[in-house]
């Protein structure tokens, strides 16, 4: 019998929960009993009653929750905060599913190795078509791209859309989105809905069609290199390309009001694209919203978790942006997890992970505490 434990997240600024009530009944049909720590869903507007009314059992504390559990589902990696030590509570019979990021959170990763659990890192989900419904990074980035534009609009001290009034005409804001991945494309769509004129830059020339389909204007560096890996991610570019890129952006930024920056390279710090010199040439009152701040930032002036004012310009480094729309973010995360578990069912029942499946193998970071496929 599978006992799935859903703990309350303890990471700072985290309001999401790993499983939402709508996924309880499908899990029960799969033969998985769901146990939820008291108050786990409150910050996402899901009450204990919402869970219990659908068949989940509410545990009064984490000790009770983890007892005899054999599957732990979290948003974030297990950690230690104050007197709470999640590593000491999770037993070694439990498989763990969460966002792990071993390169960034090395201390926690080493502690997970000592526990000898099977650990599935959802950020490692292979980018193939049948994995789309399980792709946590995409579901969360989609919401982050939306929220970035909404937040940036609140910092910007002018209106976004064109307005023609009896007192005069207000021109539309000009928005530049750097990085046309999932977050970037949603940012383009949201900025267009708000009435802005949108430009987009990405090293991957293949994204041009997607940008233009959303009403954005694609700007690019003339280069023979496609700018992407075989997996569809952006890759590190040459020095020659970076010089051309800097010149193009410097010219463009002088006309831009709001920048939404989303550029990331998997497994590496975020590429630093916007220099202080470029920011100097931007208009007073302009806003840079740096979604890459958690991984070092795309702007030289970004400080993660802070709002920096520099020469009447604002550089925002948000913390855990998806968490600020926690109800929807949790619901999508939960569906990703449900689909991932359903992928290993046999005749509708889940007994164990299908270790022959490429999605299971691809996300398994640790197998019995040992690096799997040389990951990590």
Q: Which architecture does CATH list for 156-319? A: 3-Layer(aba) Sandwich (3.40)
The pLDDT, as a whole number, for residue 268 is 83
Give CA–CA dist 94/82, Å, rounded. 23
Q: Is 16 a catalytic residue?
A: no
pLDDT in tens, 12-55: 989 999 999 999 999 999 999 999 999 999 999 999 999 999 99
Clarify whether 135 is annotated catalytic: yes
Is it true that domain 2-135+325-368 has CATH number 3.40.50.720?
yes
Q: Which residue has the tokens 């390169």?
A: 103
pLDDT band at 372 (very low <50, low <70, confident <90, very high): confident
Per-residue pLDDT at 373 exceeds 90: no
**Of these residues, 127, 193, 223, 371, which one is catalytic?**
127
Q: Averaged over 260-276, what is the pLDDT?
A: 90
| Marked catalytic residue, from 45, 53, 132, 254 | 132
Of the candidates 69, 138, 286, 344, the residue annotated as catalytic is: 138
Secondary structure class of 47 (helix, strand, coil): coil
**What is the pLDDT at residue 376?**
43
The DSSP bridge partners found for residue 290 are: 261
What pairing do the DSSP bridges indicate for beta strands 287-290 and 307-310? unpaired
Distance CA 258, CA 270 (A): 20
What is the overall mean pLDDT for the chain? 92
Q: Does 109 qualify as catalytic in the annotation?
A: no
Task: Centre a 10 Å sphere on the Cβ of residue 340 and count the other Cβ atoms it contains.
Answer: 23
Whether the per-residue pLDDT at 375 is higher than 50: the answer is no
Strand ranges in 192-265 using DSSP code E only, listed in sequence order = 197-201, 217-219, 258-261
- Asked if 262 and 188 count as a contact pair (C-beta separation under 8 A), the reply is no
pLDDT category of residue 225 using cuts at 50, 70 and 90: low
The answer to whether residue 127 is catalytic is: yes
Number of residues that this document lists for the chain: 376
Q: Which of 135, 257, 290, 328 is catalytic?
A: 135
d(CA 92, CA 179): 40
Q: Concatenate the DSSP letters of all residues of 322-345 into one string.
A: GGGGHHHHHHHHHHHHHHHHHTT-
pLDDT at 203: 84
Strand partners, 299: 274
Ranges of CATH 3.40.50.720 domains, the chain = 2-135+325-368, 156-319
Give per-residue pLDDT as tens, 166-194: 999 999 999 999 999 999 999 999 999 99
Clarify whether 132 is annotated catalytic.
yes
Active-site annotation holder among 233, 310, 319, 327: 233
- 234: exposed, middle or buried (C-beta count within 10 Å: 0-12, 13-18, 19+)? buried
The pLDDT > 70 percentage for the chain reads 94
- pLDDT value at position 191? 98
- Is this prediction's pTM over 0.95? no
């Amino acid at each position: 019998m599978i006992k799935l434990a859903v703990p309350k997240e303890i990471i700072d600024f985290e309001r999401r929960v790993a499983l939402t009530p709508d996924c309880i009944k499908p899990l029960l049909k799969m033969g998985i009993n769901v146990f939820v720590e008291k108050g786990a869903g409150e910050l996402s507007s899901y009450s204990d009653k919402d869970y219990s009314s659908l068949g989940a059992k509410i545990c009064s504390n984490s000790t009770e929750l983890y007892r005899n559990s054999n599957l732990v589902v979290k948003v974030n990696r297990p950690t230690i905060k104050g007197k709470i030590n999640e590593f000491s509570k999770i037993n070694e019979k439990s498989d763990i599913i969460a966002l792990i990021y071993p390169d960034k959170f090395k201390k926690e990763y080493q502690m997970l190795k000592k526990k000898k659990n099977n650990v599935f890192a959802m950020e490692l989900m292979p980018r193939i078509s049948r994995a789309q419904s399980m792709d946590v990074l995409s579901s969360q980035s989609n919401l982050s791209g939306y929220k970035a534009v909404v937040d940036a609009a609140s910092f910007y001290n002018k209106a976004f859309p064109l307005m023609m009034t009896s007192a005069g005409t207000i021109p539309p804001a000009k928005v530049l989105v750097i990085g046309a991945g999932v977050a970037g494309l949603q940012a383009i769509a949201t900025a267009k809905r708000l009435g802005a004129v949108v430009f987009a830059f990405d090293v991957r020339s293949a994204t041009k069609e997607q940008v233009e389909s959303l009403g954005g204007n694609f700007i690019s560096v003339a280069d023979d290199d496609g700018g992407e890996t075989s997996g569809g991610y952006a890759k590190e570019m040459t020095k020659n390309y970076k010089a051309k890129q800097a010149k193009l952006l410097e010219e463009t930024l002088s006309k831009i009001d709001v920048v939404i920056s989303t550029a990331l390279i998997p497994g590496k710090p975020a590429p630093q694209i916007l220099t202080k010199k470029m920011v100097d040439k931007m208009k007073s009152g302009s806003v840079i919203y740096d979604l890459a701040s958690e991984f070092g930032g795309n702007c030289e002036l970004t400080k993660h978790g802070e709002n920096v004012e520099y020469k009447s310009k604002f550089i925002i480094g948000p913390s855990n942006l998806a968490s600020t729309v926690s109800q929807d973010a949790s619901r999508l995360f939960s569906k990703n997890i449900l689909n991932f578990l359903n992928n290993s069912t046999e005749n509708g029942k889940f007994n164990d992970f299908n270790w022959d499946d490429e999605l299971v193998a691809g996300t398994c970071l640790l197998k019995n505490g040992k690096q799997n496929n040389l990951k990590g």
